[in-house]
């Protein structure tokens, strides 16, 4: 009788576990749908990150790449990049950076931190260390007094870009799409004109680059 009672108890528990109330069924379906969506978002985010980072590494101007990306993703009716200055931040160049810029310890090196935006989206935050004596007076005035991105200001120099590093910050095994403020990857590079370096940049790109807007 004891064995029979145990069998009945097991059957009852199995039946209870299989029973789902109508509201719970809807919730379970929603959870399955959300899990499925996140499983799809992870690879999609990874592919977009790989595409954008490859374009940035292959191009002489991050500004031009971001403006094209902004237009492709439909992030704003006006895809121009705006550099919003971050005030109150200063990072001295340091000896290693000065060496890469080929300047002595007394040569002025200016620092500029900006948020590169497309419409209302902050696509990246960038640190710029540049040698003002290697730019024109007009370029220095634009960098000091406008929201023009560095790449657009120095475009007349026909700069080349030497990449120093690419660091992935978002873990590709994570499910779902990164949030718009979540750091995805960073790029460090030196810009030169005629073989003479004039700027070093450190750019951190955010999840906002993955947003799909209206085309």
Domain count for the chain: 1
Domain of residue 153 covers 31-210
Nearest to 58 by CA among 155, 154, 183, 166: 166
**54-84: per-residue pLDDT in tens?**
999 999 999 999 999 999 999 999 999 999 9
44 contacts: CB under 8 Å, gap ≥ 6: 177
Question: Is residue 100 in some structural domain?
Answer: yes
Give per-residue pLDDT as tens, 100-133: 999 999 999 999 999 999 999 999 999 999 999 9
Provide, rounded to the nearest whole percent, the portion of the chain with pLDDT above 90.
Answer: 72
Residue 63's pLDDT is: 95
Q: What is the pLDDT of residues 157-183, one digit of tens each?
A: 999 999 999 999 998 766 678 899 999
Q: Mean of the pLDDT values across residues 177-197? A: 96
5 lies in some domain: no
Q: What CATH number did the domain enclosing 88 receive?
A: 3.40.1410.10
Torsion sign across C-alpha atoms 196, 199, 202, 206: negative
Q: Tell me if 196 is assigned to some domain.
A: yes
For the chain, give percent helix, strand, coil, nearest 5: 45, 25, 30
Q: Please report which residue ranges of the chain form alpha helices under DSSP H.
A: 2-18, 22-58, 62-73, 94-100, 137-145, 150-153
Q: What pLDDT score was predicted for residue 43?
A: 84
Quick one: 16 exposed, middle or buried, by C-beta within 10 A (0-12, 13-18, 19+)? exposed
Q: Is the pLDDT of residue 36 over 50?
A: no
């Amino acid at each position: 009788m004891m064995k029979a009672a145990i069998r009945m108890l097991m059957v009852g528990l199995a039946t209870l576990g299989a029973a789902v109330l109508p509201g719970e069924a809807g919730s379970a379906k929603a959870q399955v749908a959300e899990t499925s969506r996140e499983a799809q978002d992870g690879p999609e985010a990874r592919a977009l990150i790989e595409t954008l980072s490859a374009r940035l590494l292959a191009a002489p101007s991050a500004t031009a790449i971001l403006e094209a990306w902004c237009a492709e993703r439909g992030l704003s009716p006006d895809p121009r990049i705006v550099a919003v200055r971050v005030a109150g931040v200063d990072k001295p160049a340091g000896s290693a950076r000065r060496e890469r810029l080929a300047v002595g310890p007394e040569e002025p090196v200016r620092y500029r931190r900006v948020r590169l935006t497309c419409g209302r989206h902050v696509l990246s935050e960038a640190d710029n260390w540049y040698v003002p004596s290697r730019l024109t007076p007009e370029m220095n005035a634009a960098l000091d007094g406008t929201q023009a991105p560095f790449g657009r200001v120095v475009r007349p120099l026909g700069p080349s870009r030497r990449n120093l590093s690419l660091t992935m910050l978002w873990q590709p095994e994570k499910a779902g799409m990164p949030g718009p403020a979540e750091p995805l990857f960073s790029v460090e590079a030196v810009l030169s004109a005629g073989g003479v370096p004039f700027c070093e940049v450190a750019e951190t790109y955010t999840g906002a680059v993955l947003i799909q807007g209206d085309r």
